[in-house]
Amino acid sequence: MPKTAPAQTSSAPLDLVIFGGAGDLSVRKLLPALYMAHLHNNLPASTRIHALGRQPWDRDTFLGFVQDKVTPFIAAAAREGDTWQRFLDRLNYVCLDATQSADYQALGQALQNGSDRVYYLATAPTLFTDICAHLAGAQLIDTASRVVLEKPLGHDLASAQAINDEVGRYFQESQIFRIDHYLGKETVQNLMVLRFGNTIFEPLWRSPYIKSVQITVAESVGVGSRAGFYDGTGALRDMVQNHLLQLLCIVAMEPPVSLDPDAVRDEKLKVLRSLRPMTVADVARDTVRGQYSAGASNGGSAIGYLKEDNVPADSGTETFVALRAHINNWRWANVPIFLRTGKRMAERRSEIVIEFADLPYRLFTDSPRQSVNRLMIRLQPEEHVQLQMMAKEPGSGMRLRPVNLNLDLESAFTERRAEAYERLLMDVIKGRLTHFMRRDELEAAWTWVDPILDGWAQLNEKPKAYTAGSWGPAASSALMAREGSAWVEEA
């Protein structure tokens, strides 16, 4: 894999081009993130933001759309004064059909002379090839250009390789930013500091001192307007192949020799390549597929997945996955890794739980429970780190009770905490690749996921039903119990 060139700061004007500029991601995440960067003077002064879409709008119509649709995602207090108007002055709109080469001439005319260009492809991956080819045909790509690719990058290894091959015809690897917004979260980046900026955990961060690792990304919402896309994707492709495996890489990687992007990503790649491949028998034993049925969620009633709009009545798509993985290396030998994600679960929660090994001998026999030590890293909705330890209850005797040592990152630092997309967009602008996936990482993740998909196809079993507002099928608890563990909310 070619090594990454060092990040550079350019004095050239910047054009940031968003394909799908009036789409959901742009409205909810990208434009609000760019506004916050503008508000805090982090965008280069010469930055222009070009939203591209098929709607036959002029610039004033687009600005009205932004005023109506984007402002609900920005705090009113942040839009006081003339800062909002100065941000609107940066915006432009170009009506463009991504599949039509002639439309790219209008884009070229809108860009600044001699500018650095960032192309953000907030579109379906099926358009990536056309977009890159037409950009090249219109001579809108040079060595300073960058392209940002949104997930999902393929639906299996072969399609991911095809996308990489096509994009790679026009952009060097050092120009390609495969974004995973979880890698922009402050707590995820803090996990590297927790591990490699302190000495207290490293001697214990291995087998046999760690009993298990749990990584959960739970959502309380259903599929909503994404049903048409989601039914052809499912939870494994949508969440496990990218978000959860990237979190696992940071948990399990060896210390890099530096913070150089390739040094960090080399270590993450080793983790992905060390994941034990699953056979059909492994898939049957160590994975659980679920699909939510009607229940109660977010304070109200919730329909089942099969009743969602644009979902076939006989759909076998999973909205929940729990699985047990193993990493075949010395550090993680015999440590089960539990990954879990789902829609319509009991609450919105993303967290990593490191459960340390049981005591070899139970000294405090008055205590009714086994001592438990856990490091719990909460990513959302709030961000904090807790170390669960045992302490003596007040009074006579030696009864123990678990207590938490808390690191509340939101109160420990008074500085503003940028959202994940804002942080990652600034990394793109500055050419910093550390928190973006390299091609070989992406393909290694698909290499591990593909046999699971194939195993499910061979087993031909329907997903297990679970009630909306629960923590998933009972089989996911049984998966943990076989290893003498429990999901943290059940412990």
**Catalytic residue positions?**
243
Tokens 């597929």 appear where?
289
Our measurement of the distance from residue 102's CA atom to the centroid of its chain's CA atoms, rounded to an integer in Å, reads 35
Count Cβ atoms within 10 A of the Cβ of residue 309 and give its class: 0-12 exposed, 13-18 middle, 19 or more buried. exposed
Helix, coil or strand: residue 18: strand
Q: 159-164: long-range contacts (C-beta < 8 A, 24 or more apart)?
A: 159/125, 160/442, 160/443, 160/446, 161/443, 163/125, 163/128, 163/129, 164/439, 164/442, 164/443
- Identify the DSSP state of 470: B
Alpha carbons within 13 A on the beta-carbon side of 284 = 7
In degrees, rounded to 5, the angle at the alpha carbon of residue 243 between the alpha carbons of residues 487 and 412 is 75
| DSSP notation for 117-184 | EEEEE-S-GGGHHHHHHHHHHTT---TT-EEEEPSP--SSHHHHHHHHHHHHTTS-GGGEEE--GGGG
Residue 312, preceding peptide bond in cis (omega within 30° of 0): no
Distance CA 108, CA 138 (A): 7
Instruction: State whether residue 334 is helix, strand or coil.
Output: coil
Residue for token pair 């494994």? 236
Contact partners, residue 447, CB within 8 Å, separation at least 6: 157, 272
Closest CA to 403 of 393, 412, 415, 418: 393
Count Cβ atoms within 10 A of the Cβ of residue 74 and give its class: 0-12 exposed, 13-18 middle, 19 or more buried.
middle
CB atoms within 10 A of CB 158: 10
Cβ-contact 368, 356 below 8 angstroms: no
Residue 286 CB partners (closer than 8 Å, separation 6+)? 278, 323, 324, 325, 479
Taking a C-beta distance cutoff of 8 angstroms, is the pair 121, 147 a contact?
yes
Q: Are 318 and 236 in contact (CB under 8 A)?
A: yes
d(CA 50, CA 183): 25
Within 169-241, where are the H helices? 186-196, 227-231, 234-235
Peptide bond into 152 cis (omega under 30): yes
